[in-house]
Amino acid sequence: MIRIGLTGGIGAGKSTVAQTLISQGAYHVDADKIAREVVDRGTPGLAQLAEAFGEEILSADGSLDRPALAAKAFVSDENRQLLNSITHPLIGARTQELTDAAPDDAIILHDVPLLVEGHMAPFYHLVVVVHTDADVRLDRLVDLRGMEISDARQRIAAQATDDQRRAVADVWLDNSGAPEVLAAAAVAVWDERLAPFRDNVSAGRAVAPTIDDTADDPEWAALSARVVNRLWALVGAGAHAVEHTATTLSDDNPARPVLDMTVTVADLAAANALAAPLAAGGFPAVQSTDPAQRLHGSADPGRGVRIRVVQRSAT
């Protein structure tokens, strides 16, 4: 099982990618749908909102009047935090429930519009970003969705910037062309990256990278930061330090750098304890010739990563 985070700016064409990957077999978890579901009519979530913000946020039929809620919830940081304190735990619990119900061999597609804003990227095996220039998205929102231009501009401005999305993107899908071109690119990502990644994780198999990914990673520093953050999310308090120690050349492809990472732990028992979470997160163990360390590689065919898990030196 692997978890894929899908995101993109409003109007970028994320739904085209989601529908394409679902048709390939992805197990879809839609954050927007969950957010609506947990405050649907008659739910405990809606009752909590009404208690916090008043009965005025309810429509005549007892459902949530979203504009009325927005008028109350977004007038101050305090009210926004109150809203989040009610909805976020409910959304998180339902998301986990759906994830737990997924088949063991699933590619879980977590469709999250505010993935970047919520700092969620490290908790996925891969993040896929759908990109379209802001002026094109503006036209789509106004012409196709009927939004007022001021509202559309405000929504675009409130979301993450292109640079912020690019910093977390393992896969960058440009939607400047026709929808069928974007769909074809999504199928290629499934065939060449996602399905092999899932199979490698299931088999506990680290592989050499085989995909030319230089286009979506112009700076190796950004890639190393993503890997460091992902490793911290996996090892948590089980490590003293996680760092990018070197960038070397792949034995299979000398033109492709491989990231060498070091995870420092208290002792080899702690290193052994990290084997399972690292493997589940896409970094299975590989044989090491050094008995004083544990070695892991990447199961992602699009990334070259080697991880040394070492004991902290006594000082």
Annotated binding site for ATP: 11-16
- How far, rounded to the nearest angstrom, does the alpha carbon of residue 96 sit from its chain's CA centroid? 14
At residue 201, what is the residue type?
V
Phi and psi angles of residue 262, each rounded to the nearest 5 degrees, phi first: -125, 130
Spatial separation of the C-alpha atoms in residues 269 and 282, rounded to whole Å: 21
Between the CA of residue 228 and those of 90, 126, 234, 245, what are the distances in Å? 29, 13, 10, 11
Collapsing DSSP states into helix, strand and coil, what is residue 307? strand
Residues in contact with 149: Cβ distance below 8 Å, sequence separation at least 6, in sequence order:
138, 142
Enumerate the known binding-site residues: 11-16
Nearest CA among 268, 250, 249 for reference residue 308: 268
- How far, rounded to the nearest angstrom, does the alpha carbon of residue 144 sit from its chain's CA centroid? 27
| Structure-token match 């898990």, residue found | 309
Nearest CA among 209, 233, 234 for reference residue 220: 209
Q: Alpha helices, DSSP H only, in 56-130? A: 66-73, 77-100
Nearest CA among 155, 117, 122 for reference residue 137: 155
Residues in contact with 2: Cβ distance below 8 Å, sequence separation at least 6, in sequence order:
107, 108, 125, 126, 194, 197, 198, 201, 282
Spatial separation of the C-alpha atoms in residues 92 and 43, rounded to whole Å: 16
Spatial separation of the C-alpha atoms in residues 124 and 109, rounded to whole Å: 10
Number of other residues whose CB lies within 10 A of the CB of residue 60: 6
At residue 302, what is the residue type?
G
